[in-house]
Amino acid sequence: MTESHPWSFVTSHGLALVELAREPDITIRSLATRLDLTERHTHRVISDLVDAGYVKRTRIGRRNRYEIDESRQLHTQTLAQHEVGHLLQLLAA
With contact defined as beta carbons under 8 Å apart, do 15 and 25 qualify?
no
What pLDDT digit, counting tens, does each position of 7-34 carry? Answer: 777 889 999 999 999 999 999 999 999 9
Q: How many alpha carbons lie under 13 Å from residue 45 in its C-beta half-sphere? A: 23
Residues 6+ apart with CB under 8 A from 9: none
How many angstroms separate the CA atoms of 44 and 93, rounded? Answer: 26
With contact defined as beta carbons under 8 Å apart, do 73 and 3 qualify?
no
pTM for this prediction: 0.83
**Domains and their CATH numbers in the chain:** 12-92 (1.10.10.10)
